[in-house]
Amino acid sequence: MKIVVCIPARYDSTRFPGKVLAKDTGKYLIQHTYERACKASLPQRVIIAADDEQIVEAARTFGAECVMTDPAHQSGTDRIAEAVADLDADIVVNVQGDEPEIDPDHIDLLARLLVENPGVPMATLAAPLRQAEQVADPNVVKAVVDRRGRAIYFSRSPIPYDRDQGGIGPAANYLRHIGIYAYRKDFLLQLATLLQTPLEKLERLEQLRVIENGHAILVGTVEHTAEGIDTPRQYAAFVQRYRRQDANDLFRNAPASQGQDSNG
């Protein structure tokens, strides 16, 4: 089965314009994401779907396959649908361009969900919430799934509603949605032709279009999630983490010091 990772990259981000080309670590933000995706073992190909020639030029500098797509696309789904339309692929994994710390194992897990469940057209991931304040945070999307692991609903509101706790219960009762998706290619192309649905417009969550049109989304559960980069502040925090990790790697890989011969 042929599996492709496609990374939609939009230059003019609302909260952080040009973020995919931020380079305070010495690498472009999109380069970090691309290199992490390349570490996944199941995909045979990783491509970037860009909306600006600056991204295409940057991708060339680090050897990534990158295609220019229509700048008018309203969503990453539309962008990757155009990018893969003529590719020989069975499964397409959508990795957001601002996920420089994404776990490659999560990409493999997501692809495997569709490989092992041929009747499901789409899959995504979720992780248990760890912090109580995230339950009510509308920027943290919550997922509710059935006993088969299929999505019932996604919301920015605290779902499920904990009646005994006045609405919001312990964080462990909630699943945080992770914005990474796998699609069967034919379903992805179909999805890109569907109009926005009422719940999708209300919540501003594109995955609700799938549920409202009666399609299943299989949800895999993982134990942790990496934060995406939405703001300059989040990027600055990532740069600090990266520099610390880089310094630790240099220390671990440094040759052992050679002591002086006391008899010399």
- What DSSP assignment string belongs to 187-215? HHHHHTTSPP-HHHHHHT-TTHHHHHTT-
Instruction: Return the pLDDT at 263.
Output: 39
Instruction: Return the pLDDT at 254.
Output: 56
Q: Which regions of the chain are under pLDDT 70?
A: 249-264
Instruction: Return the pLDDT at 166.
Output: 83
Check for a shared fold between 1-99 and 103-225: yes
The domain segmentation of the chain, as residue ranges, is 1-99, 103-225
Q: Does CATH number 3.20.20.140 belong to domain 1-99?
A: no
Give the tens place of pLDDT for each residue, 155-194: 999 999 999 988 888 898 999 999 999 999 999 999 999 9
Instruction: Return the pLDDT at 102.
Output: 96
The model carries a pTM of 0.90
Instruction: Return the pLDDT at 91.
Output: 98
Task: Give the separation between CA 195 and CA 209, rounded to whole angstroms.
Answer: 8
Task: Give the separation between CA 146 and CA 168, rounded to whole angstroms.
Answer: 20
Task: Give the separation between CA 174 and CA 132, rounded to whole angstroms.
Answer: 10
Instruction: Return the pLDDT at 261.
Output: 40
Instruction: Return the pLDDT at 259.
Output: 39
Instruction: Return the pLDDT at 264.
Output: 36
Structurally, at CATH architecture level, domain 103-225 sits in Alpha-Beta Complex (3.90)
Share of the chain above pLDDT 90, in %: 81
**56: enclosing H helix or E strand:** helix 53-61
What does the buried/exposed string (b/e) look like for 150-159 if buried means 16 or more CB atoms within 10 Å of the residue's CB? Answer: ebebbbbebb
Give the tens place of pLDDT for each residue, 114-141: 999 999 999 999 999 988 889 999 989 9
